[in-house]
Each structure stands twice: as C-alpha cells, then as structure tokens.
Amino acid sequence: MKHSKVVLILFISVFLIILLSPWSIADEKNTQKESYSKIEALDGSYWIQVNEDGFGDENNVAVVAMKEYQNNLYALVRNDKEGAEVWRFDGKHWEQVLFPNNVENGIYNNYFINSHMGAMEVFKGKLYVGFSSGVQGYYLKSSGCEIWRYDGSKWEPVVSDKKDVDEKGIISAISGCKDKDGETTAIFIDSSKKWEKNRWKGGVLQITSGRGRFRRFDIVSNTENTLIVQQNEIGGNRGKEYTVCKEKHYINPFPLHEYDLPPVSAGDSYEIGMGNDENGFGDYFNKAISSMVVFEGKLYASTVLNYDYGGQVWYTIDGENWKITNPPRSLGLFHDDPNYPDSKKPVTRGIPSLGVCDIEGEPNLYAGTLGSDGNLGGCARFAKLTISGWELIVDSSIDENDTGTNENGFGSGMECNMFNGNFNVWSQACFKKKLFVGIQSIAGARVLYTKTASPKDGSWFYSVGGNGKLPAGFDGKTNKGASMVMKKPVFETIAVQLFPYGDYLYAGLVRLYMPLMGAGAETLTGSQIWKTKDGINWVEVTKNGFGDKTILNFQSFCVYKDNLYVSGSRAANTVGGGLGGTKIFKLLK
C-alpha cells in the first residue's frame, strides 16, 4: 500500500511537471487551434486562421515571405522592435526557428534586421533567406541586407558581416568626428596596429560594441594605425555629410519618420569588412532583399531601397560565390543630378520583383523596378535577362516615339511619379501563358499583362486600372484624410501581390496606412483578396481582411502540402507602424 502511494505521488508529480513546463505551454500556445472557426469568403470558398496572432507577440506585425522546405512551412516574420524572426509549421504545430546561439531576433540580436521586406528560396537542398534591414527613405537607419541559409538544424551566413572577419580591434582614439567641424571625414586610431598604407581603403568599418553597435563608416584611406572614415547616413549625399560620433537625431521627409543614431566612442570594438560577401553585398545602402528565384541552376537575388546607387541583381551557382548581373546598378539607367555620386541619380532605387515565365517559347527571367524622380522619367521599368545582361522592354529609350505601354511606367509618361502613375512593379506572376505585373501607386494599385513580353508598342494591356474592367485600386476608392493632407488623390489600395494557384490568379492588396499623413486607423476597413480565372474578370474573395479591419495587406502567398496559405499582415508597407500580430490563413479544399 505504501509503495502504491509513492508511485501515485511520483506519477502526479511527473504529470504536473509536464503540464506546467515551458515546453508544454509553448506547444499549446503555438498549436493550430480548433477554436478558429471557418471563414466563408465572398466567392464561396472557406478559409481558416492557422496561427496565434503574431505567434504570441504583437510586435510580429507581418509575414513577409513563406516557403515549403523539408515538409514544413517556413515564415519570415517582420519585427521592427526586437528584430526579425523565423517560424515553421508542420501542419499542426508552430515552433520558432532559433538563430545561432539560441538567438530569437535579428539573427544575432541586430535590431536593424527587421525584415521590412524579405524573400525565401530553396536552392541545392538548403533554405536561403534574404533578410532586410531598415525601412523606406533616403536616410539609412540600416546595417544592410543579409542572406543566410538553413539546412533544417543549422544556420550559415552567406552574404553577411558574419561570414568572415577581415580585421578587428579596439578604437584607441577618435578625432574630427563632430558636426560642421570643417572636415566631412573623421580619424579613428587603433594604436595596436601596423597596417600597410591603404590596406583597408574601400572597406567598411563596422562598430561591434557600445551604444553605437551596428553603425558603419566608409573607409577612405588608412595609415599604419589610423583609419580615415566617412559617414554615409543620407542617400545621395555620399562624401558630403559630416561624420558625427555623438548621438544625432534624423528626420526622414517621406515617408515621414524620425530616429536617433547612437554614439561611437573610444574603447568601442570594431571589425573591417571587404568584398561583396559583407552586408548588402558590400554596399550597406542595399537595405533590403525583396526577391529570390532559381533560374537555369542559379539562385538570383534582387536588392531595393538603395538611394545612392540603385537596385541590383546578384546570382550564385554554388551558393557561396556571388556575381552581379549587368548592368551592375539601376539597370544602367541614371538621371542627371549633381547631388549624387558622379552626378548620377539611380532611375531604379530597387528591383522589387523577379520572376520566371515562359511566354516566348522558353523560360526567361524578368525584373521589375521601383522608380525615382528625374529627367529620364520617374516610374517603373521592366527588363529581360539575356546572355549579355538585362535588356529593357519597358523604358523611354526603347523607341523614338513617346507613346505606348513600352514607355516609362508602362506608358505613364515622362511626368509619371508615385502619385499619378505606374511607379513600382510590386510583383509579377506567370499565368496561363501571360506575364502579369502588379503595380504599386499612390494613384491606386493596377495590374497589367503581356502575351509576348516584346519591347514593341502596344505589348501590355490593363487588367485592373487604365481601361481594365476594374478601376485603379480594384474599387476606385480614395482616402479622404491622406488626400486632404497631400492635396492630391490618394487611393486606399496602393499595391498588389500576385500569386497563381490552381485555375486562378490571386491578388492580395496593400492598404494605405500612414497616420502622420492623414491615413489613420479610423479609416481602415481591412484589406482585400481578389482572384481571376482568365486574367481579365475578377471576383472578390474578401473585402474586409476576413473580418479584421486591422489587416493592412495580404502580403505573402505560399503553397504548402498542396494547400494555399496567405499572410494577413498588420504592418504598413512603409513606416507607419503596426496594429498587432500577423495572421496566416489557409484555404480549405
């Protein structure tokens, strides 16, 4: 009898330990809940939410990319407070994928790595993840984009400061590092070094300790133990701004946001990075990786939000060594502007969209761009990769006339900008032998398509906006508050994410949310999803974020175990902040 009581007590104790253990709580917390009821959509389909909002953290405001890998669904999560996270789903349970050394956020606790944008792709048996750092704007507030890969248990840096260390040390003394002190450069001394002259010229000094950790400076030159460094915090101002080591406040004009750049002091540790294996492929103004795609045995990755030199497309054959496609920057297009390096302002601040499509008898790789104001026209371009490099098929230089959908902004004209025309190729999709592009524009999201991808006049047609059956923005609605503040029509829906699944092309819309510009939470009604079977006639799936008006955009689509999943993000696509934790929905068959 006594023995039975002991066994019973031990059994109850073990049961309580298991029940109350952190593992058990985490497992229950991140299990697909039976209590999530089915949602009947406007088209008669049924959907269900499969995760807890934000995976239990309201700062996890968006899922910017999803990918199936090793029988799991992986999700890249935007977090502007602590840094990006990665989660995975086996069909029933979610678990966080920890970074090296059990770090939860920002890969190595780098809060700059927020994944405002991002991409995932499987290549040579491993999952490649493109992390972004910072937000939109001419002001940096970034440590540069990074690419890491994962084999199901271990992370490896691919394009990152963490891939190698070319040099490291501790700053002994600093001079000439004040605002308006007569010299734009500053002097950093490490008295323990004996370098060759200009050994580190062209490299990047990376601060690795202190309050200014993750700040970086261009190395102009060096002597035996001295580095001449230049700050580059303002796009288009390289080499002209003062290098400031004290804390300094910055205000980005549009999209409007403010931040403090932390101080750097003697005694801080540093590393020096050289080459294109460093953050941003060696250029930290490559803030974001927006797209990754495998084409002809190569992994391609595109960069965006580079206000200095423009977007780029890089590729690798082996996953280790990266080369740049030609032209190397901004598809070779530059406005005349004396405020930029060599008086060249990039026409394309980024290449948000890469895609493979077979509409010419063989698969081709296409790139869509993000525009910038200037003398060559301020809107989107489109190009095809050839043996010699990128061939423009939408640009004002293609022919002698200035009409047709092959011109700047798919025919939007030389006066085109983000407020009135086809400004940014947000997404693209190959669907039923046609190539579709989803356009971002303050004047309303649009969709165009081509049957030929030819540079000739009249090769592109409107599916939404223009002379399409649906108006710009899919519903033609403008935001009264933002329109009043900006004194021009500002639409509610400003971008579209395209994704083919089964017999349909789906469109997830991006809702305007910029409280400082008049588009606040009081105007929200929830984002929308539409679908089309023929590319012309569209059917609405949801018009209110599946009943949640705080869902600002349906951002990332993915097929996992033959089922369609989509993320409902509660974060502005610019810098307007978040409204709560992100959701993921599954289309029920």
Sign of the alpha-carbon torsion through 67, 571, 282, 267 = negative
Q: What's the pLDDT score for residue 318?
A: 97
Task: Give yes or no: residues 119 and 174 share one domain.
Answer: no
Task: Give yes or no: residues 253 and 296 share one domain.
Answer: no
Q: Is residue 33 part of a domain?
A: no
Task: Give yes or no: residues 114 and 181 share one domain.
Answer: no
Binned at pLDDT 50, 70 and 90, residue 257 comes out as confident
Domain boundary among 273, 308, 337: 273
> Cα-atom radius of gyration of the chain, to the nearest Å?
25
Of 351, 346, 343, 416, the residue nearest 384 (C-alpha) = 351
Q: Which helix (H) or strand (E) holds 4?
A: helix 2-20
Q: Is 526 helix (H, G, I), strand (E, B) or coil?
A: coil
Task: Give yes or no: residues 262 and 114 share one domain.
Answer: no
Q: Is residue 186 part of a domain?
A: yes
Q: What's the pLDDT score for residue 576?
A: 59
pTM for the model:
0.93
Q: Is residue 28 part of a domain?
A: no
Q: What's the pLDDT score for residue 18?
A: 36
For residues 517-522, average pLDDT: 87
Q: Are 555 and 585 in contact (CB under 8 A)?
A: no
Taking phi over 0 as left and psi of -120 to 50 as alpha, with beta for the rest, 345 belongs to beta
Task: Give yes or no: residues 93 and 190 share one domain.
Answer: no
For residue 263, is the peptide bond before it cis, meaning its omega torsion is within 30 degrees of 0? no
Q: Is residue 12 part of a domain?
A: no
Task: Give yes or no: residues 99 and 216 share one domain.
Answer: no
Q: Do β-strands 216-222 and 173-175 pair in parallel, antiparallel, or remain unpaired?
A: unpaired
Q: Is 525 helix (H, G, I), strand (E, B) or coil?
A: coil
Task: Give yes or no: residues 398 and 545 share one domain.
Answer: yes
Task: Give yes or no: residues 198 and 99 share one domain.
Answer: no
Task: Give yes or no: residues 183 and 213 share one domain.
Answer: yes
Q: Is 480 helix (H, G, I), strand (E, B) or coil?
A: helix
Domain boundary among 273, 308, 343: 273
User: pLDDT tens for residues 192-210?
Assistant: 999 999 999 999 999 999 9
Q: Are 259 and 251 in contact (CB under 8 A)?
A: no
Domain boundary among 273, 302, 337: 273
Total domain count for the chain? 2
Q: Which two tokens stand for residue 276?
A: 């294109």
Among 35-44, 71-80, 214-223, the least confident range: 35-44
User: pLDDT tens for residues 556-572?
Assistant: 999 999 999 999 999 88
Task: Give yes or no: residues 192 and 290 share one domain.
Answer: no
CATH number of the domain to which 377 belongs: 2.130.10.10
Task: Give yes or no: residues 253 and 391 share one domain.
Answer: no
Task: Give yes or no: residues 190 and 314 share one domain.
Answer: no
pLDDT at 29 over 70: no
Q: Which DSSP letter does residue 137 get? A: S
For residues 488-499, average pLDDT: 96
Determine the structural domain holding residue 182 and report its residue range: 167-273
The residue ranking higher by pLDDT, 238 or 511, is 511
Q: Which two tokens stand for residue 138?
A: 């001419």
Among 31-35, 69-73, 325-329, the least confident range: 31-35
Q: Is 522 helix (H, G, I), strand (E, B) or coil?
A: helix
Q: Is residue 415 part of a domain?
A: yes
DSSP states along 55-113: GG-TTEEEEEEEEEETTEEEEEEEETTT--EEEEE-SSBEEE--BGGGB-SHHHH-TT-
Q: Is residue 568 part of a domain?
A: yes
Q: Are 77 and 85 in contact (CB under 8 A)?
A: yes
CA distance 363 to 501: 19
Q: Is residue 7 part of a domain?
A: no
Q: Is residue 9 part of a domain?
A: no
CA distance 526 to 266: 50
